[in-house]
A and B are shown apart, each in its own frame.
Chain A
Amino acid sequence: MHLDGVIVEWLLVLVRVIALFVITFLIVPYTVMAERWVCAWIQDRVGPNRTGPFGIMQPWADALKLFLKEDIVPHHVRKVYYVIAPTLVFLPALLTMALMPWGSNLGPMSCVLADIGPGMLVVFAVSAFSVYGIVLAGWASNSKYPFLGGVRSAAQLISYEVCIGLSLVAIFMQTQTLNLTQTVLYQASHGWLVWQQPLAALLFLICMFAETNRAPFDFPEAEQELVSGYNIEYSSLKFGLFFLGEYANMMVASMLLVTLFFGGWSLPFAPFNAPAQVWWVGLAHVAIFIAKTACMLFVYIWVRWTVPRFRYDQLMGLGWKVLFPLALVNILITAVVLGLRGGA
């Protein structure tokens, strides 16, 4: 029946949407948890271990605490913008999740929710919007520290977005596609791009640290200088949403890095280097993707607790005088190599 087909199709979409939400809302709190564990381990402390066995219930306790806090809206803020700002930080991360190939296929169902042709452009377009949340929060708070945080964030993101785009141009030149699934398939047959484009991978990694406002580039919130930057005036769930947004953005950045440079759901040997034919390979692909993402998240946390923050002029100098020219040189080298290889 034709109608049955349509209904099944919509049901499959619904299943994937729910799966994405569940994955996001499971990974994000445990990333916060992992942050605290790894931080404690690096600083030779015990870390949270009181809530539940080994402290695994800690994120839910934290969430409950945030939920029960009084929601204070200071009288000097610009109300409408103040309220929408936290949502704007979180929303782009969720939207980008829809484009992530988090597995090959489970039975007849492809794992990507929206397999759009130039998917990478959509990811860029959407993720460029997380800056509005922070800038708007800084401006709407109508107070000095948040404002400084917002302005810093805007300047930082503009500077590093250029470099992200340019570092990926080399990838696109090699894979001849802007589609994320196609990029993964290319890597499944040609080997991971991180070995072939190490410079692009490094540039992209550094820029992603800047894009997600993580240490060593966490200027918008810089506790020692700006108290806590753009989110000072926020409390309760609105603050929680900023918090969630930061980690969701981190997760999306890790997934992007895995997809573009570390082979996505594939492993370089059979039967994991091709789209799944049997169900257990499909499940294994999802597990591989999540495991790789977890490794990248570990790198994020590891860097935060070992590398001190830059100075602001160093940040700008690094972005424009080092990373930007390197990205251009990388494009040139890629073009020459591809040309010598006799046209891609």
Chain B
Amino acid sequence: MTAYDAIFWFFSLALLLCGVLVLISPNAVASGLYLVLSFFFLAGLYVLLEAFFLALIQILVYAGAIMVLFLFVIMLLDFRESRHWWRGNLLGWLGAPLAAGTLLTALLPILKRSGALAVAPEQWFEGTLENVMTPVFTRYLLPVEVTALILLAATIGGVVLGRKETKP
């Protein structure tokens, strides 16, 4: 096992562990913090794949901005601590693996056909800022702009729905 492999397994196992902890921790804020931690390990995996820009953006946008907002909302809603995960009822214990298994068997053929499970090609490009962003501003400019427009529409929708009715 090379050092590369060791680092890969460390990040992967830590990521999975954090993912499980997000699900089973009884406190919602703790769940959120585990999610932040898992983003770090994910960023580590990106760095191993030489996707440096993606790793930075992962931390900057998801861990640094979006999760702060999430935690803000979770704290304001003030959830009560949920029951411990092992105290679920029988239906939950049977249903969850069943649902996950069904989903996996349904998705596996599609994943196989798409080639996502195949080994990555040998020649790839380094994920630097220029390499990632040049296609975004040239070849994929229209899809990016359309996505921005959709997000804008969603934002305006949120503001309209959340607005208090004031008498004129």
A residues contacting B by CB (< 8 A) are: 81, 117-118, 121-122, 124-125, 128-129, 131-132, 135-136, 139, 147, 150-151, 154-155, 157-158, 161, 178
Would B68 and A132 count as touching, CB distance under 8 A?
A: yes
On chain B, the residues within 8 Å of A118 by CB distance are: 52-53, 56, 128-129
Known: A118-B56, A125-B60. A158 touches B69 (CB 8 A): yes
- Tell me if B76 is interfacial: C-beta within 8 Å of chain A: yes
Among residues of B, the one whose C-beta sits closest to the C-beta of A131 is B68
Among residues 33 to 47 in chain B, which have CB atoms less than 8 Å away from a CB atom of chain A? 33, 36
Would B72 and A158 count as touching, CB distance under 8 A?
A: yes
Among residues 49 to 70 in chain B, which have CB atoms less than 8 Å away from a CB atom of chain A? 52-53, 56-57, 59-60, 63-65, 68-69
Known: A125-B59, A125-B60. A158 touches B53 (CB 8 A): no
Would B56 and A122 count as touching, CB distance under 8 A?
A: yes
Q: How far is the CB of A4 from chain B (nearest CB, A)?
A: 23
A-B contact pairs, 12 of them (CB 8 A): A117-B52, A117-B128, A117-B129, A121-B56, A122-B56, A128-B59, A128-B63, A129-B63, A135-B75, A136-B33, A161-B64, A161-B65
A-B pairs with beta carbons under 8 A, tally:
61
10 more contacts with CB within 8 A, not counting A132-B36, A139-B29, A151-B72, are A118-B56, A118-B129, A121-B53, A125-B63, A128-B63, A136-B33, A154-B69, A158-B69, A158-B72, A161-B64
Alpha-carbon gap, A91 to B122, bound state (A): 38
B residues contacting A by CB (< 8 A) are: 29-30, 33, 36, 52-53, 56-57, 59-60, 63-65, 68-69, 71-72, 75-76, 128-129
Among residues of A, the one whose C-beta sits closest to the C-beta of B55 is A125
Alpha-carbon gap, A139 to B71, bound state (A): 10
Would A151 and B76 count as touching, CB distance under 8 A?
A: yes
Alpha-carbon gap, A136 to B129, bound state (A): 32
Please classify the interface of chain A as helix (H, G, I), strand (E, B), loop, or mixed, using the class held by over half of its residues.
helix
Q: How far is the CB of A264 from chain B (nearest CB, A)?
A: 21
A-B pairs, 6 with minimum CB distance: A128-B64, A125-B60, A154-B72, A125-B59, A121-B56, A118-B129
On chain A, the residues within 8 Å of B52 by CB distance are: 117-118
Q: How far is the CB of B118 from chain A (nearest CB, A)?
A: 30
Alpha-carbon gap, A81 to B29, bound state (A): 11
Alpha-carbon gap, A158 to B69, bound state (A): 7
Alpha-carbon gap, A125 to B56, bound state (A): 7
Among residues of A, the one whose C-beta sits closest to the C-beta of B30 is A81
Known: A139-B75, A154-B71, A155-B72. A121 touches B60 (CB 8 A): yes
Alpha-carbon gap, A55 to B33, bound state (A): 43
Would A125 and B64 count as touching, CB distance under 8 A?
A: yes
Alpha-carbon gap, A294 to B160, bound state (A): 47
Alpha-carbon gap, A136 to B75, bound state (A): 10
Would B64 and A129 count as touching, CB distance under 8 A?
A: yes
On chain B, the residues within 8 Å of A117 by CB distance are: 52, 128-129
On chain B, the residues within 8 Å of A157 by CB distance are: 68
Would A135 and B68 count as touching, CB distance under 8 A?
A: yes
On chain A, the residues within 8 Å of B30 by CB distance are: 81
Alpha-carbon gap, A161 to B59, bound state (A): 14
Q: How far is the CB of A220 from chain B (nearest CB, A)?
A: 13
Would B56 and A150 count as touching, CB distance under 8 A?
A: no
Alpha-carbon gap, A151 to B77, bound state (A): 12
Q: How far is the CB of A233 from chain B (nearest CB, A)?
A: 16
Alpha-carbon gap, A117 to B68, bound state (A): 27
Among residues of A, the one whose C-beta sits closest to the C-beta of B59 is A125
Would A124 and B69 count as touching, CB distance under 8 A?
A: no
Q: How far is the CB of B157 from chain A (nearest CB, A)?
A: 19
On chain B, the residues within 8 Å of A155 by CB distance are: 72
Would B129 and A128 count as touching, CB distance under 8 A?
A: no
Alpha-carbon gap, A122 to B59, bound state (A): 9
Known: A118-B53, A118-B56, A122-B56. A154 touches B68 (CB 8 A): yes
Alpha-carbon gap, A117 to B55, bound state (A): 14
Q: How far is the CB of B21 from chain A (nearest CB, A)?
A: 13
On chain B, the residues within 8 Å of A81 by CB distance are: 30, 33
Would B60 and A158 count as touching, CB distance under 8 A?
A: no
On chain A, the residues within 8 Å of B53 by CB distance are: 118, 121
Alpha-carbon gap, A151 to B68, bound state (A): 10
